[in-house]
Amino acid sequence: MASAPVHHLRVRVLLLVALCFASASASASFPWPWKRSGHDYRDALAKCILFFEGQRSGRLPADQRAAWRGDSGVSDGKAAGPGVDLEGGYYDAGDNVKFGFPMAFTTTMLSWSVLEFGDDMPREERRHAADAVRWGTDYLLKTLAHPGVIFMQVGDPWKDHECWERPEDMDTERTVYNVSSGRPGSEVAGETAAALAAASMVFRDGDREYAELLLDSAKKAFEFADSHRGAYSDDMDLRAGGCPFYCDFNGYQDELLWGAAWLRRASGDDTFREYIQNNGKTLGAEDSINEFGWDNKHAGLNVLISKEFIEGETLSMQSYKESADSFICTLIPESSSPHIQYTPGGMIYKPGGSNMQHVTSISFLLLTYAKYLTKSSHTVNCGDISVGPDTLRLQAKKQTDYLLGDNPMKMSYMVGYGDRYPQRIHHRGSSLPSIKDHPERMACKDGTPYYDSSSPNPNPLVGAIVGGPGEDDAYGDDRADYRKSEPTTYINAPLVGVLAYFVGNPNPGHIRH
């Protein structure tokens, strides 16, 4: 029997300025008969965080709740030589590779979620969210543990994707890739700096020693990124491992500004504000790129930095507020700006697969920017209309509710939430018998019949958010259609913050500021 096909080539269109499918008025209200009266955001939040336990690599802790998983990748790092320990971290999606670039972004967004909306989380979920952050940062610290290099990936993705096997059984090469002064990877180092800096604030009150370690390590990672500038995808060996799965399409410059911005926020050190001021133009801060995700940080960068201008009137940061406004206006159907594309059912849509990553990350930015605006007299100027924070919150709520079931398919795109959700996600561990139920080893090709099966996955990966429907709002629940059916950590991470906000503020007409 043929093996499962090589899975996802995460190639995406870099610059997209598209018109809405629906009219402005339809996009604004979406009065469809499938709208529900409300959602259990607390239940969705708990499941959204639980998902990360199903993605863990390494030795699992005693309090592991995704009990169908077992230890895996316990020898990761040995291929790089004696003393290299790269156990832990997260598998990025439905495969068994640890890609450092999206893992660091995932950790940044989990941390940002806790920082902005942790107060809206029930205490137990706040603890679980911090655990999810720490599972990422513990690993990222290991990637920085050897002078002169930063380890950026474990696993040969081409060989991994030829197999359909559980992470507990994987026998493919655990090749280790690293960046160094001779083959730089400023985007990996810069995002690692951002993740550790953001996480340092998460642990500042409860574990100051760990927080200080994270912040010191973030500074070292940033210095590495800035001193050895370059993109890892420009190196042939690194490109062979990382591309086209997580190729650096956008360049490393935004990650330098992103890392500096998080270090500025975490440390309060004026040196990092000066870095942003002195390097912004040369590093592309003025580029009008309305995108935010694991590769392109521009829209998130503008929202993050604008906080300093909004709250402190730091005039040198005013341009970031203007750029953030420009991005927000593309999401407001009533504005005269060129608009992001929406499906007929109202979902934000960009070509390229894993579309829910745009839904969750943009929703997070909408709520975060609304929070910053609420603390000031600022609004968003979209040509002939002025947009306030409540409008941004309503836009985020529409996207969130669509994801949770208010859509033409009448299904939740989060596994385990609601009465109808994806049953056949593109995920090895979820689709194969659990090692707890089937302890006998399953080799590379042994999983192919399960891949080809139309049966539901035996191990529901609770909380996993799939790539989601296409531009026509259709979803076929097909395991082979990875662009729609595969979950990723960076889809879930920003939604943690979004759902936390709506736990505390479930009614858009009566939002507590």
What would the pLDDT profile of 249-293 be if each residue is shown by its tens digit? 889 999 999 999 999 999 999 999 999 999 998 888 878 678 899
Whether 223 is in a domain gets the answer yes
Q: Is the dihedral of CA 404, 130, 188, 257 positive or negative?
A: positive
The pLDDT tens digits for 386-418 are: 999 999 999 999 999 999 999 999 999 999 999
d(CA 385, CA 336): 9
Joined together, the tokens standing for residue 373 give 């605006």
Respond yes or no: is residue 426 known to be catalytic.
Answer: yes
| Residue 150 resides in a domain | yes
Does pTM surpass 0.75?
yes
List of residues 6+ apart from 153 with CB closer than 8 A: 97, 98, 99, 100, 175, 176, 177, 241, 242
For residue 314, give every residue at least 6 positions away whose Cβ sits within 8 Å of its Cβ, in sequence order, or none. 273, 308
Report the C-alpha gap between 511 and 508 in whole angstroms. Answer: 5
The Cα 249–Cα 295 span in angstroms is 7
- Report how many domains make up the chain: 1
Which among 495, 430, 467, 450 has a CA at the least distance from the CA of 95? 430
Q: Is residue 484 part of a domain?
A: no
pLDDT of residue 509: 52
**CA pair distance 211, 217, nearest whole angstrom:** 10
To the query of whether residue 125 is one of the catalytic residues in this protein, the response is no
Is 170 inside any structural domain? yes
Q: Which residues of the chain have pLDDT under 50?
A: 1-31, 511-513
Strands 149-154 and 176-180: antiparallel
Using alpha carbons, select from 355, 383, 513, 492 the residue that is nearest to residue 45.
Answer: 492
Domain span holding position 96: 57-249
Contact present, 458 and 427 (Cβ < 8 Å): no
pLDDT of residue 1: 39
Catalytic choice (7, 228, 378, 426): 426
Considering the candidates 477, 478, 481, 513, report the single residue annotated as catalytic: 477
Determine if residue 357 is left, alpha or beta; phi over 0 gives left, psi from -120 to 50 gives alpha, anything else beta.
alpha
Does residue 21 sit within a domain?
Answer: no
pLDDT the model gives residue 399: 97
Does 101 fall in a domain? Answer: yes
Helix boundaries (H) for 31-174: 41-54, 100-117, 123-143, 157-160
Q: Which of 351, 310, 299 is nearest to 468 (CA)?
A: 351
The answer to whether residue 68 sits within a structural domain is yes
13 CB burial (10 A radius; 0-12, 13-18, 19+): exposed
pLDDT of residue 9: 38
Question: What is the CATH classification number for the domain harbouring 235?
Answer: 1.50.10.10
The active-site residue out of 120, 169, 308, 486 is 486
Q: Which helix (H) or strand (E) holds 265?
A: helix 253-267
Measure the CA–CA gap between 68 and 458, rounded to whole angstroms: 10
Q: How far separated are the first and last CA of the chain, in Å rounded?
A: 58
| pLDDT attached to residue 20 | 33
Are the C-beta atoms of residues 248 and 231 closer than 8 Å to each other? Answer: yes
For the question of residue 39 being annotated catalytic, the response is no
487: left (phi over 0), alpha (psi -120 to 50) or beta: beta
No. of helices (H) and no. of strands (E), the chain: 18, 7
Query: Are 486 and 426 in contact, with CB atoms under 8 Å apart?
Result: yes
* Long-range contacts of residues 507-513, Cβ cutoff 8 Å, at least 24 apart: 508/390, 508/393, 508/394, 508/397, 511/390, 511/393, 513/374, 513/389
Determine, yes or no, domain membership for 418.
no
Q: Are 325 and 386 in contact (CB under 8 A)?
A: no
Q: What is the pLDDT of residue 5?
A: 38
Closest CA to 380 of 421, 434, 337: 337
